[in-house]
Amino acid sequence: MVSQATSSTLVWRAAVAFLEWFTKFRWGYKARLMASSAAHFGPIKAVLWLSWNIARYERTRARFGPVRTHLICTTISIINGCEYCTYGHGYALELAYLRRYERLFPLSEAQLVELRHEPPAMIRHRLVEAVLAAELHNEVHYLERTISLTLGDARPTDRDEVYIAHLVRMFRVLNGVAIDSGIEPDESPTPMNKDHLLRRRYDGMRSG
């Protein structure tokens, strides 16, 4: 007979294996956040919570496109002070921007990570400045609303803001899990992470 403790361990391992398989299949690497999420929620709740939220995240990504989506996720994570998610989605933003516009985003993922030490007003200033320098003028509105919703200074007023508000709630949890777990950043949570030519090109341009 399998003991309750052994059964719980098997369930936990199965949940982590499934979540890591999903990230490996989707993004090309086993995200460290998956084991931390299973420890935080419990294995079954982690699978259910992440499955539902990632599905809704993917609908947002389909609506907004990768540049806007990763800009929003990066912004939320910077304000919440999360190194793990800021680096991951910042790197995803860099890859999406390079693929679409054939040039580098004005701030590197390392510079985006450093912004989490700044007060909200400075974060807003630096990000708006970068977005304008990147000629993403249409994104300033989304950036401003993301900051306001993350800080709790506003409520959603249209359909797009409902999508942003979900990301704010989702990343409040993910950021908290990553911070509490103290996990180091790994790779980029986007299918573009599997595009090794794009990654090498990006790395070469950043270091050049």
DSSP 49-114: HHHHHHHHHHHHHHHH-HHHHHHHHHHHHHHHT-HHHHHHHHHHHHHHHHHHHSS--SS-HHHHHH
The reported pLDDT for the residue numbered 12 is: 78
pLDDT of 3 above 60? no
pLDDT for 156 equals: 86
pLDDT tens-digit readout, 176-190: 999 999 999 999 999
Which amino acid, one-letter code, is at 38? A
50 assigned to some structural domain: no
CB of 88 within 8 A of CB of 185? yes
Whether 143 maps to a domain, the answer reads yes
Q: State the amino acid at position 40 in one-letter form.
A: H
Residues of the domain holding 146 = 59-207
Q: Is residue 73 part of a domain?
A: yes
Amino acid (1-letter code) at residue 95: L
In a domain? residue 118: yes
Domain assignment present for residue 122? The answer is: yes
Q: Residue 5 has what pLDDT?
A: 46
CATH of the domain at 93: 1.20.1290
Local structure of 151: helix, strand or coil: coil
The reply to whether 188 falls in a domain is: yes
| pLDDT tens, position by position, 33-72 | 999 998 899 989 999 999 999 999 999 999 999 999 999 9
Is the CA virtual torsion 83, 84, 90, 94 positive or negative?
positive
pLDDT range class, residue 10, cuts 50, 70, 90 = confident
190 located within any domain: yes
More confident position, 15 or 109: 109
Q: Angle at Cα 178 formed by Cα 173 and Cα 180, nearest 5°?
A: 95
Domains of the chain: total: 1
